[in-house]
Structure 1
Amino acid sequence: MSYFGAGFFFIIKMSSLCPFSKAASAGDKCPRKIEVNGARDKEKNDDKVKQEGNESITLSPKCPFGYDSHTFKLGPLSCLICQALLFESSKCMPCSHKYCKACIERFKDCPLCGADIEKIEPDPDLQLLVDRFIEGHARIKRSQVGTDPKEVGDEHKNVIYEDVSLERGAFLVQHAMRAFRAQNIESAKSRLSICAEDIREQLNQFGNTSEFCSQLGAVLGMLGDCCRAMGDAGSAISCYEESVEFLSKLRIEDLEVVHTLSVSLNKIGDLKYYDGDLKSARSYYSRSLDVRRDAVSKHPSSSAQAIDIAVSLAKVADVDRGLGNEAAAIDGFQEAIKFLESITLNSNESGLEQRRSSVLDFLHSQIAEPVSAPQSTFV
């Protein structure tokens, strides 16, 4: 989710971190890792379960729709183009192959069979099936307390779901990320909204636990990315601000939480910057810088966080330049350069070295050739 977001560094990128990985038990795995190693784990876990106090082995239940909890494969409920759950299910005519509406509208020929697409029709029955699948999957049913045994008829029975499982949240985030990468933003936003609603229900029931606050903070940040990609700056700021609110409830010791919090602050600053409110932008950039400085003071060996500090220094300096304070801008750029040059990277951190070099090149250019307009050559 990290990116440079001042006037000169603008790119939207959804987080690759699973906000649910921290809440997993020792036997749980982040779906990002499961997707890679699923074949190995599936062989061990799919065919049997151990029951306490009982040596018998029973077969694990299988989802009739083809959902596999270890590989996140959905069979007929997924879109071939974005590889995520179908959203606004539509079929090509005359071949009748089915995709998300936003995905297939980009094509003139069916991606599966190559037939000319004469028209695209909605498939409400299939979408209803997908929606029912999302609503019911991975939730735990329990009996309603105090139900009158004399009551008969389905119309009198209230189905109550207890804990929304970790698997459900991770599943929704996984498919939201797939849809976002494929530019199916409405789909990503829909899945993340469901996930956020689930977490809010848990917060109402169990209070502001660190797990739920971190999860909701991350999901709200992703929702902000969706709103931003759709051009809805106001809603994006609201999501980012709420993300900051929940993440700020936590003790800032986890580097992933620090990263998510600082990025949400930066993204608010980005939007304020492009709206011309430079003073507000500087305030948010400075808050992000403070969070990152504090993290590095507690985790001095984190090279990624150290580079993030230089990025924040550059953001603040860029705004200072926009506000007409050239001396402060030059000081900020120079401080960022010194900070980057003081970092020692290991040989296995080639990605960070490339990032550091790119940032250094930009910073040197800002000192060598001061400009009054935002730059957008670096992403």
Structure 2
Amino acid sequence: MTPVCPFAKSARPEDSCPRKQRETANKAGSENECKAKKDSTESATVSPKCPFGYDSQTFKIGPFSCMICQALLYESSRCVPCTHVFCKACVSRFKDCPLCGADIEKIEADEDLQKMVEQFIEGHARIKRSIVDTEKEEVENDSEKVMYEDVSLERGSFLVQQAMRAFRAQNFGSAKSRLTICAEDIRDQLEKMDNTPELCSQLGAVLGMLGDCSRAMGDSSSAVSHFEESVEFLMKLPMDDMEITHTLSVSLNKIGDLKYYDGDLQAARSYYFRSLNVRRDAVNLHPDASSQVVDVAVSLAKVADLDRTLQDEDGAIHGFKEGIQLLKSLNLEPEDSALQQRRLSVLEFLESQVAERKPESAEV
């Protein structure tokens, strides 16, 4: 069976028994034959829906969820004496149980429950599937028609969903753990399918999220490594996709931010400038994409602001003014209210920076 992409959508079992097959059988007057075909088809596919109710499409909360972050339990911890269980990082912020209000006398690790959670993650979306050859009336060896495969195609989406929930709740360790598993899954697929654009895009996105987790945890070195690897995979993709170019430029800017905070201003400017070039190219390919134009203005502001820090006042003013010109020439539709608000915010910043031009530079 061809390896599947972990973020792809799957066909549901009800789609696997075509209506035309049933109608053809009815027209032939062979109800028994239709029933046999239906039974065979049903045995060929097993419902990929999670038995615990977790679903990457409907965002359900199941029995292995932490009720605080609403993601899968991570470092499961039990409150004493009420016995309610949460993620360690989540419940550590409370003195009273968030569910029942009882005083928390102490918090104990629930290793057995955590093992169950990890086993569930390992097995999620991996189900038993029978392969039926309709051209053969009999199968000589049953072991030849059974295999295990990630046929629900929802494992990657499921892991990312859980990671995003945990990240929003500031449970960064949980988010990083789930994203790491997801990245490993995609790497396994890349080994089987080579560097397909879809998988490279997915891995680039997941690595970027891992970078965000590391940065939030104060590990700037790991964050830079994740962002750089994200850039590496995204650079392998065609640059005509606006989502890809946006993700790429954001990763470059985040590396620039980390270099800036680390005091390496020249390296920071280099990454900001690379991001600016990616966004310029995107505008050339999609001149009607207003959001891309605003992105270019933002990059111009970042590069110009760093030029000013590096004592290149003329270069800074040139960049600020170029950004102002871009934004003033941008015509937005009335329904683009959110983008209009962003445009005005960036424009206000750029104009304030031009107004703050140093006197000695103004005289040159």
TM-score in terms of structure 1 length? 0.79
- Structure 1 residue 140, shift from structure 2 partner: 4.8
For 2:17, the equivalent position in structure 1 comes to: 51
Indicate if the aligned counterparts of 1:49 and 1:60 stay in contact, CA closer than 8 A: no
- Following the alignment from structure 2 to structure 1, what is the Cα–Cα distance between the partners of residues 309 and 178? 38
For 2:31, the equivalent position in structure 1 comes to: none
Indicate if the aligned counterparts of 2:95 and 2:104 stay in contact, CA closer than 8 A: yes
Confirm or deny that 1:244 pairs with 2:210: no
- Following the alignment from structure 2 to structure 1, what is the Cα–Cα distance between the partners of residues 17 and 73? 36
Gaps of at least 5 residues in structure 1 are 1-19, 29-44, 144-148, 150-158, 372-379
Indicate if the aligned counterparts of 2:75 and 2:109 stay in contact, CA closer than 8 A: yes
- Following the alignment from structure 1 to structure 2, what is the Cα–Cα distance between the partners of residues 200 and 126? 28
Report percent identity of matched pairs.
68
Confirm or deny that 1:108 pairs with 2:95: yes
- Following the alignment from structure 1 to structure 2, what is the Cα–Cα distance between the partners of residues 161 and 298? 44
For 1:300, the equivalent position in structure 2 comes to: 287
Gaps of at least 5 residues in structure 2 are 23-33, 131-140, 359-364
- Structure 1 residue 142, shift from structure 2 partner: 7.2
Cα deviation 1:16-65 (Å, max 9, x = unaligned): xxxx89x645x77xxxxxxxxxxxxxxxx79x454244564869465332
- Following the alignment from structure 1 to structure 2, what is the Cα–Cα distance between the partners of residues 133 and 305? 41
Whose Rg is larger?
A: 2
For 1:40, the equivalent position in structure 2 comes to: none
- Structure 1 residue 69, shift from structure 2 partner: 4.9
- Structure 1 residue 363, shift from structure 2 partner: 1.2
Cα deviation 1:198-248 (Å, max 9, x = unaligned): 000000111000010000000000000000001111110000000000000
Indicate if the aligned counterparts of 1:195 and 1:219 stay in contact, CA closer than 8 A: yes
Cα deviation 1:284-304 (Å, max 9, x = unaligned): 111111111111111111111
- Following the alignment from structure 2 to structure 1, what is the Cα–Cα distance between the partners of residues 48 and 254? 43
Cα deviation 1:258-308 (Å, max 9, x = unaligned): 110000011111111111111111111111111111111111111111100
Task: Mark the CA change 1:129 to 1:182 in structure 2 (over 3 Å): closer, same or farther.
Answer: same
Task: Mark the CA change 1:77 to 1:113 in structure 2 (over 3 Å): closer, same or farther.
Answer: same
Give the aligned residue type for 1:187.
S
Runs of 4+ aligned residues of structure 1 deviating over 6 Å after TM superposition are none
1:134-283 paired onto structure 2 within 5 Å: 134-140=121-127, 162-163=149-150, 166-283=153-270
Say which is worse superposed, 311-320 or 57-66, in terms of deviation. Answer: 57-66
Paired residues, number: 320
For 1:94, the equivalent position in structure 2 comes to: 81
Where 2:154 maps in the other structure, the secondary structure is: helix
For 1:35, the equivalent position in structure 2 comes to: none
Where 1:201 maps in the other structure, the secondary structure is: helix
- Structure 1 residue 70, shift from structure 2 partner: 3.4
Confirm or deny that 1:353 pairs with 2:340: yes
Give the aligned residue type for 2:51.
P
Task: Mark the CA change 1:62 to 1:221 in structure 2 (over 3 Å): closer, same or farther.
Answer: closer
Confirm or deny that 1:322 pairs with 2:288: no
Q: Identify, as 1 or 2, the structure richer in helix.
A: 2
Structure with the bigger RCO (C-alpha within 8 Å, sep 6+) is: 1
For 1:341, the equivalent position in structure 2 comes to: 328
Indicate if the aligned counterparts of 2:48 and 2:127 stay in contact, CA closer than 8 A: no
- Following the alignment from structure 2 to structure 1, what is the Cα–Cα distance between the partners of residues 80 and 122? 29
Indicate if the aligned counterparts of 2:55 and 2:158 stay in contact, CA closer than 8 A: no
Give the aligned residue type for 2:278.
V
Task: Mark the CA change 1:332 to 1:109 in structure 2 (over 3 Å): closer, same or farther.
Answer: same
Task: Mark the CA change 1:125 to 1:169 in structure 2 (over 3 Å): closer, same or farther.
Answer: same
Indicate if the aligned counterparts of 1:263 and 1:288 stay in contact, CA closer than 8 A: yes
